[in-house]
A and B are shown apart, each in its own frame.
Chain A
Amino acid sequence: MNAWSIAPIGLALAWGIMGLIFWQRIRLLRWLGVLGSTSFVALSIALLTMVQKEKFLILQVGAWRAPFGITIAIDLLGALMVTMTSVLAWFIALYSLTEIDESQVRYGFYPLFFLLLMGVFGAFTTGDLFNLYVWFEVMLMASFVLMALGGYRAQLEGATKYVLLNLIGSTFFLIAAGLTYSLTGTLNMADLAVQIREIDNPSLPLVLSALFLIAFGIKAAIFPLFFWLPASYHTPPVAVTALFSGLLTKVGVYAMVRVFTLIFPFNGTILQPILLVLAGFTMVTGVLGAAAQWDLRRLLSFHIISQIGYLIMGLGLFTPLALAGTIFFTLHVVIAKAALFLVSGMIQRLTGTFNLKSLGNLAQTQPGMALLFAFPALSLAGLPPFSGFFAKLILVRAGLEAQQGAIVAVSLVVSLLTLFSMSKIWQEAFWKPARREGKGILPVHMWGAVGGIVVVGVLLGLFANPIMTLSLQAAEQLLQPSMYIQMVLGGQP
């Protein structure tokens, strides 16, 4: 028993309630955002240290022993994801100080922000399948309102598409969870892992896996289920888009990783090639979508999809190295992507537009911004010595080891196309003569937030070893679920 495991959820809830208490106190709320996120960072680092020592932090909520109550369990993967979320949230909170306008703060931006994080933390830490569904709902509702907050026409349209298509995903999830319960009579993930392995007919778990794949695939925006993402991500304020890009789809991927390692290991089944094929298509369609865009934020949104393909590729390969690749890649891409979105927000702030056609000459007028763009952009394209390079290297290596040359080839071509579309932004926004010169200066904490997140990304590449080691350990843990199962069901070993 370790009560710390519920701390992220509890803390986020507490801050969310604080946000509601100080409703309409705008200045206070803004700093509450930063303060709250700081507490998350501190907590998550503490959790990461504890997990490294104790392997698992497990709490049976209400002291109902598993599988009768709800289990909250943090393993290394969960702790890494919580840490990533907290770090991202911190920078977003800093950036939001001026990016989120007053009316949005007045109507609940900060409570929504914290409750969204509560949902994300919940998803990363729960050990119960239905509880995971509940956190998905929390996230969905919070993100829907955040997306629509502001009331612009485009926002509403985007948010509607977003919520409706995601509800389809939730429906699949609910159906899958219900059927799983009717098959096994339990919802506790560790118990499920035991029960599913005892089922004689291998087809039944496989069918359930397919349902979960669809459910989480919609959340994760894989091919051909990604439509909601490009339809909506360019509409809310950039800080919100950056937050979403870092969290929502990644929770979907996390859920896949968790469910497909712990409960339904699919290696050797038909789902493995299917997953690899989907990974390839996700990469390709995403990056081609990006190549066709002229709106900076839309272009970046399509890249989210493309990068999800890499994460799925790691899962599909299903070796320790590949899963470590997925984990490291997730951390890398969340930071790099958020940084790029935030830079695009700076550009928009300065020039009033996201349109690449009317931007230009920023390398001359804003050399600092050019640098802040160049690092995460190169990282995203997988160029060394940035984190994206190691993320790609580990996946390529895992792919070749598993003799899956095709997906490796696709991933390499896609990374060239990523470089192409990054250089398109560079050429259009930074190099070509400007049609519209930006003026004014940006607030200092905006520079601080973006500079900070870029530095974090660069450090993740230059000092990749600690995080890479953790990713490898986390992957090891995932592929040996017996330990997790024993810890959850059997109490102390």
Chain B
Amino acid sequence: MGFMILLLTGFVLTFTAPWIRRRLRKWSLPVFLLYPLAALALLWNISETIQKQSAIAVSLPWVPSLGVNLSLRIDGLGWLFGLLISGIGALVIVYAHGYLHHHPQENRFYGFLFLFMTAMLGVVWSEDIFLLFVFWELTSISSFLLIGLEHPEEKARKAALQALLVTAGGGLALLAGLVGLTLITGSSNLSVMNTLNGKIVQSELYLPVLLLILAGAFTKSAQFPFHFWLPGAMAAPTPVSAYLHSATMVKAGVYLLARLTPALGGTPQWHTLLTLFGLATLLAGAFLALGQTDLKRLLAYTTVASLGTMVFLIGLGDSLAIKSAITLILAHALYKGALFFVAGGIDHSAHTRDLNRLGGLAGTMPFTAFAAVLAGLSMLGLPPALGFISKELVYEAALESASGGNALIALIALSGVTAVGIWVAFLPFWKKPDEQTARGHGEEITLWLPPVLLGLISLGLGLLPGIASKALVQPAVEAVLLKSTPVKLALWHGFTPMLALSGLTLAIGTVLALNRMRFQPAVQTILQTLAPISPERGYERGLTGLKHFAALQTNFLQNGYFRRYLMVTILSGILLVGIVLLQSDSLPWTSFTPPRFYEVILVGVILTGVFSVTRTSSRMVAAALLGMMGFTIALIYLLYSAPDLAMVQFTIETLSVILFVLVIYRLPQFTRTRGGPPAVLDVVVSVAAGVLVTVLVLTLSAVPHDSLVTSFYAENSLKLAQGRNVVNVILVDFRGFDTLGEITVLALAGIGVFALLKLSGKTEAIRTSSQEETK
């Protein structure tokens, strides 16, 4: 229950944090810290349960009619992620107080941050997959808002949109996949689904569901070819990059894959897709990183590489691989978060993040340099940092997997990552400054303390691998695999192939790092050559194409020509009814009495009238012809012994013609609007409409029926309603309510005429910026 209240508090903080920040200024820091610390306390509180491989669960109904409930379940995996999210979150709050000081968006930044923190905790604690999805999308929204924090700049706005579209697009696929999964399993509870692997895998929906869920996870975790939004997201302020785009949010996809391993995993499809995409991402990330000179972009691409590694490991799926994935998640969050903090500190101090302009900062920023060394050790995989253990495990898992190529790919890519690690963690501090080096000025405690802490934890966990394995990794691994899996991490395994590979990686990485000036231009050239076929360009093309197509189709459809609208509307009606009419068989076509000769004459008169109206160029003639047609129709009423109806029709026609004539003199000159081929189309459509209605009337009225209603009216109009004229009785009694409506229509028309006469004549359009429709 405490967890539920915590999450609710988070949402309250989302809306109140800006206000709190404005009121308390500096003192908001301790208040804000309470939230992640409370989360940590709650987690600490249940650590014994977690160590015993059990879980805390709580559930409240939300929309039970759709089977969506507020169910949380915190097991080892959620616990580990919860620690990372709230722990690093607390440091981010501290860091941001220094980093964003005097930033124009400072106050609302905290609102967005709490939204994210809460959503992310929700993702890793949700038991109901739809609840998970809700939080998942909320992380996308908060990420959008945070990337766009510098929104006066177009770059930030574009990057925010890009991240949103990619992750939300994946989110939609995920939603479809999750719905599919519930349809297969009949439950939306993760722990239930995770027991139904056989049923899921054998379902014919398995592959589509898998692909959809992978699309969601891959976009979120920046897997190739969706990785491009992550470097773009570096437009966000550094605390955001450290938190969302390296330590936590981007791992949500990895989390989901780990979480669903028991439900979806263990199949060749799962294995192939995950290892394939994981390795491709690892390679692409490492290679792209080598071409960068901006600290944050370097870190972003190596994050991509690490995420690829995690997906690869989860794809392998055996207990060793999962163990190494979890260790990597932990190690990566610690060192990458720290390095982002360091990069932000450098930016803050030297006002640049360009490798070429950085150097010799160790003197002015000793604490930051210390943090960088600590984190750098872990990133390079040097003992005794946690990163060393994790790298060993990665190699071990890769070597154990069937294909030896995996290890080779990992070697190549990780060497690149190592080189980047050296650049980021050491170059800015220890390179000899030259004339283009930017000068740094001091450092602030809020900016160096968080990375130092992270670095120390990283080191500490490496030195005490027992704690790391027992307390953190093992519960998570067991939560993923749903079976007891003893985990023993150690710094020293003896002389193993893994150690050799580690050493080799380091050697190649160092060589690469030292020769940056020589090969980096080459990498950049290759990247530039590849740029036209890069996924990012694809995204941009897609977006531009979409806009073009949207404009094109809208101009085509909604083109402002009323005649076109009219024609398409009628034509659609004809087509639809026509299709139905044609495909349905055996319409009663038969028995109707042959027309009498005066009926033929009357119809002839009407048709002639119609034809002449379309040909005449005088309004007066047109009005007269319309009147003539009306009178002819009235004659038809007469023939069918409805004299009262005919009388009404006569009156109306006479009045209309008189009114027409009165109005015509006030109208501008009548001009024919068009002729030629388009007119032929008009004729065809009109004739088709006429024919269609005729056919309908003939077929439908050919069916004999005995109407109860008609006879009831005839019998009872005098008896019950005291009226001799049946039509009148229908109008004022049997169906008098209709008449009420019609009277209302008349009243409305009256108001309309009055108002339009009084209010017209204002030609200046105030309310609409452009006068007419888009043309």
Contact = CB atoms under 8 A, between A and B. Distances in A.
Q: Do these two chains interact?
A: yes
A130 B737 CA distance: 11
B566 A210 contact: no
B554 A289 contact: yes
A288 B771 contact: no
Given A168-B570, A416-B165, A150 B767 contact: yes
B13 to A, nearest CB: 15
Contacts of B164: 419, 423
A204 B587 contact: yes
Contacts of A405: 208
B63 A289 contact: no
Contact of B588 (A135, A201, A364): A201
Interface in A103-119: 103-104, 107-108, 111-112, 115, 118-119
A227 B565 contact: yes
Contact of B752 (A141, A185, A302): A141
B345 to A, nearest CB: 28
A154 B772 CA distance: 6
A119 B774 CA distance: 31
Interface string A156-188: 110011001100100010010001001111110
B168 A401 contact: no
Nearest to B136: A384
A275 B657 CA distance: 42
B551 to A, nearest CB: 4
A421 B431 CA distance: 48
A331 interface: no
A67 B709 contact: yes
Interface stretch (A74-82, A84-92, A388-396, A439-447): A388-396
B572 interface: yes
B192 interface: no
B12 interface: no
B754 interface: yes
A213 interface: yes
A11 to B, nearest CB: 14
Contacts of B62: 464-465
Nearest to B15: A371
A449 interface: no
B157 A175 contact: no
A291 B565 contact: no
Given A69-B734, A175-B696, A201-B588, A235 B755 contact: no
A285 B738 contact: no
Contact of B737 (A131, A150, A153, A211): A131
A288 B752 CA distance: 35
Interface in B138-152: 138, 141, 144, 148, 151-152
Contacts of B705: 183-185, 195
Interface in A282-311: 285, 288-289, 291-293, 295, 298, 302
Contacts of B151: 363, 427, 431-432
A130 B738 contact: yes
A93 B66 CA distance: 34
Given A183-B705, A203-B587, A204-B587, A210 B557 contact: no
B598 interface: no
A145 B573 contact: no
Contacts of B774: 293, 298
B765 A355 contact: no
A393 B554 contact: no
Interface string B731-747: 00111111011101101
Interface residues of B, number: 118
Interface string B610-626: 00000000000000000
Nearest to A405: B208
B693 interface: yes
A141 B745 contact: yes
B719 interface: no
A111 to B, nearest CB: 6
B172 interface: yes
A206 to B, nearest CB: 6
A185 B710 CA distance: 7
A379 B18 CA distance: 23
A227 B580 contact: no
A155 B768 CA distance: 9
A384 B707 contact: no
Interface string A131-147: 10011011001101100
B179 A185 contact: no
Interface of B is mostly: helix
A204 B585 contact: no
A107 B767 CA distance: 18
A465 B585 CA distance: 46
A115 B569 contact: no
Contacts of B65: 465, 468-469, 472
A345 B620 CA distance: 45
A483 interface: no
B61 A465 contact: yes
B111 to A, nearest CB: 10
A288 B557 CA distance: 11
A290 to B, nearest CB: 8
Contacts of B63: 390, 464-465, 468
A20 B772 CA distance: 33
Interface string A40-83: 00000000000000000000011010011110100000000000
A394 B759 contact: no
A361 B180 CA distance: 41
Contacts of B693: 175
Interface stretch (B398-406, B542-550, B666-674): B542-550
B772 A288 contact: no
Interface in A364-390: 364, 367, 378, 383-385, 389-390
Contacts of B114: none
B747 to A, nearest CB: 7
A7 interface: no
B569 A168 contact: yes
B700 A68 contact: no
A274 interface: yes
A334 interface: no
Nearest to B133: A384
B769 interface: yes
A203 B584 contact: yes
A270 B550 contact: no
B697 interface: yes
A479 interface: no
Contacts of B141: 378, 383
A424 to B, nearest CB: 8
Nearest to B752: A145
A309 B710 CA distance: 40
Interface string A401-417: 10001001100110111
B593 interface: no
Given A185-B705, A390-B68, A412-B173, 7 more contacts: A20-B747, A138-B745, A179-B696, A203-B581, A203-B585, A291-B547, A400-B179
Interface of A: 13, 16, 20, 61-62, 64, 67-70, 72, 103-104, 107-108, 111-112, 115, 118-119, 122, 130-131, 134-135, 137-138, 141-142, 144-145, 148-157, 160-161, 164-165, 168, 172, 175, 179, 182-187, 195, 199, 201-204, 206-211, 213-214, 218, 224-225, 227-228, 230-231, 234-237, 270-271, 274, 285, 288-289, 291-293, 295, 298, 302, 353-355, 361, 363-364, 367, 378, 383-385, 389-390, 392-394, 396-397, 400-401, 405, 408-409, 412-413, 415-417, 419-420, 423, 427, 431-433, 464-465, 468-469, 472
6 contacts: A152-B768, A165-B566, A185-B708, A195-B705, A270-B580, A469-B65
Interface of B: 61-66, 68, 104, 108, 130, 133-134, 137-138, 141, 144, 148, 151-152, 154, 157, 161, 164-165, 168-169, 172-173, 175-176, 179-180, 182-183, 208, 546-547, 549-551, 553-555, 557-558, 560, 562, 564-566, 568-570, 572-573, 576-577, 579-581, 583-588, 693, 696-697, 699-701, 703, 705-710, 712-713, 716, 733-738, 740-742, 744-745, 747-749, 751-752, 754-756, 758-774
